[in-house]
């Protein structure tokens, strides 16, 4: 005889339960950041008349894109349960490599760009390899890389150029075409938009597709939730984490080339502290410090909040020193709101 379940007890697979649209919405990691973005938009629309002008849109989106390009891979890395404190200076390193290699070797600018890509990706592999082989926390590994790159950026630039900045490469072959790819601008409806905005949108779309539609995306969530459990079901934990660090490196290369081809020269001390802004954008966007939860779209919303806040303060003609205060407040409020939403969702399951 087939045994029957005790009366009064229903064994229903939770995956078969119907989920209302409201519950699906509340379960989205970026919900808190969207609410925060709307609040920031309304606030600066009320206190700064120029904030709503068409020209301001391009300025805000550009400010958001310079952070958003890096916030996307940092968010994926945090979903995978790790950090990268070297991301900010790695952007500067990639720009310095392109500039100094092209200038010193009197080569086509694209040669320097290609060498920079290889070296930057190698640094990403180094971070991932050291993490997986030593078992040390990513905080320690990437803090060491941060300090080494900071010293190398300054030391090598002084050694090669004799100053703390690189020589101009604006008159070298290939500069115009490289600038068109990394630092050009488009005019739509009389409003100028930097090409970095397109890079940002493309990276957000790609990262979202990877997270939600690919096996690698499942691996990212798995390793962020529990390394050992993921390894037990066949997830290549080491390869996944190295791949995530390579993603951070690739986006650092994109940001670095924009930095170089926007200004022709690079200051070797730039980038220090930006890694915290990238992490803040990801956290505001719904990523958990503990890993296993978050989205690329959330990181984009977090970067947009950064753009609106930094430029909104300028349009309101306030002291720029208030920016860090607003950024910290947004971080705390978004984190608290995300935690509250998650508790509500878990309580209704």
In DSSP notation, 80-144 reads: TT---TTHHHHHHHHHHHHHHHHHHTT--HHHHHHHHHHHHHHHHHHHHHHHHHH---HHHHHHH
Q: Specify the pTM.
A: 0.90
* pLDDT score of 17: 52
* pLDDT score of 25: 62
Low-confidence ranges of the chain (pLDDT < 50): 1-16
Instruction: Evaluate whether 114 touches 246 at the Cβ level (below 8 Å).
Output: no
Residues 186-223 pLDDT 10s? 988 888 999 999 999 999 999 999 999 999 999 999 99
* pLDDT score of 35: 83
Residue with tokens 């990523």, as numbered in its chain: 287
* pLDDT score of 196: 96
* pLDDT score of 325: 85
What is the SS3 assignment for 311? helix
């Amino acid at each position: 005889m087939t045994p029957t379940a005790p009366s009064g007890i229903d064994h229903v697979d939770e995956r078969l339960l119907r989920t209302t649209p409201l519950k699906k919405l509340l379960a989205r990691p970026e919900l808190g950041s969207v609410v925060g973005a709307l609040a920031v938009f309304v606030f600066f629309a009320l206190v700064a008349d120029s904030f709503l002008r068409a020209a301001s849109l391009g300025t805000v989106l550009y400010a958001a894109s310079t952070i958003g390009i890096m916030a996307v891979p940092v968010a994926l890395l945090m979903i995978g349960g790790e950090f990268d404190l070297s991301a900010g200076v790695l952007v500067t390193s990639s720009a310095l490599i392109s500039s100094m290699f092209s200038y010193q070797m009197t080569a086509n600018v694209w040669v320097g760009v290609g060498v920079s890509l290889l070296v930057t990706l190698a640094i990403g592999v180094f971070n991932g390899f050291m993490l997986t082989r030593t078992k040390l926390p990513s905080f320690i590994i990437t803090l060491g890389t941060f300090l080494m790159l900071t010293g190398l950026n300054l030391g090598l630039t002084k050694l090669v150029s004799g100053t703390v900045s690189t020589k101009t490469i604006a008159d070298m072959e290939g500069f115009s075409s490289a600038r068109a790819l990394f630092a050009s601008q488009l005019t739509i409806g009389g409003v100028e938009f930097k090409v970095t905005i397109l890079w940002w949108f493309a990276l957000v779309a790609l990262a979202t597709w990877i997270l939600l539609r690919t096996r690698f995306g499942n691996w990212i969530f798995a390793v962020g939730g529990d390394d050992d459990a993921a390894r037990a079901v066949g997830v290549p934990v080491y390869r996944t984490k190295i791949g995530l660090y390579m993603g951070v490196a690739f986006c650092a290369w994109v940001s670095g080339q924009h930095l170089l081809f926007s200004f022709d020269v690079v200051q070797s001390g730039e980038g220090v502290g930006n890694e915290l802004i990238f992490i803040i954008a990801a956290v505001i966007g719904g990523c958990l410090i503990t890993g296993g939860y978050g989205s690329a779209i959330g990181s984009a919303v977090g970067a947009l909040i950064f753009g609106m806040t930094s430029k909104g303060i300028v349009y309101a003609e306030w002291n720029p020193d208030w920016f860090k205060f607003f950024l910290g407040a947004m971080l705390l409020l978004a984190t608290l709101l995300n935690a509250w939403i998650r508790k509500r969702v878990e309580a209704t399951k």
